[in-house]
Amino acid sequence: MRGGLVGSNLLSLRSARTVKQSKNLLEPALSSDHDTSAEAAEAGPLLYLAAACSLVGALIHYVLIPEHYAQWWGYGAFFTAAAIAQGFCAGALIFWPRRMVFQASVAGTVAILLLYVVTRTVGIPFFGPDAGSIEHVESLDLISAAAELTLVVILVAQLRIHQAMPIKAAAALIPSPDHESPALGRPASSHRVRVRRPVTWAR
């Protein structure tokens, strides 16, 4: 009876050590600030394509700056800010590809796309001499909108990949019962304690 209690205690201690070790392995992978989620991987072909789309939008906005400055300085200032922001976005996607950059790029590009849709359907909102008037759809507008939409699709896909990376890393670190436990030096399934029964001699 006493030997059985000792064996049970040993099994409990070893199980607790295994659980604690698994928790320590999982904590870095599940941390929100871990490198797999906060820091992006190498700038692959998709990111180069996203940067090219952002650069296309920047160039088109840059070309249209004089025309909109002639209409009103506020329109020209908006196109100048959009061109600078999209040019900066293109460089950041290549040289500093991080989740924060992806999120900011998606938010800014979606805002530009929404404003484009509003000005072509409802009218220019609130400001300037042409407020309320509906802009005509032109070829440069469509090229810019298509490039910006492509940029958003690529970056949303990249954000989903980065969000899934810590979960996959955590799953890879969970110890299997059939694998060796580094802390104990042998498989978890072989943690058995043999209890010797007292030998009785029959007379």
Assess if residue 156 is contained within a domain: yes
Contact by Cβ (8 Å): 178, 187: yes
Assess if residue 198 is contained within a domain: no
Assess if residue 196 is contained within a domain: no
Assess if residue 142 is contained within a domain: yes
Assess if residue 166 is contained within a domain: yes
In the chain, how many domains are there? 1
Burial class for 54, CB neighbours closer than 10 Å (0-12, 13-18, 19+)? buried
Q: Which domain holds residue 82?
A: 42-190
**For residue 156, pLDDT beyond 60:** yes
pLDDT band (50, 70, 90) for residue 201: very low
Assess if residue 98 is contained within a domain: yes
Assess if residue 173 is contained within a domain: yes
Beta strand 186-187 with 180-181 is antiparallel
Full-model pTM: 0.65
Query: Across residues 117-145, what is the average pLDDT?
Result: 94
What pLDDT was estimated at residue 162? 79
Assess if residue 71 is contained within a domain: yes
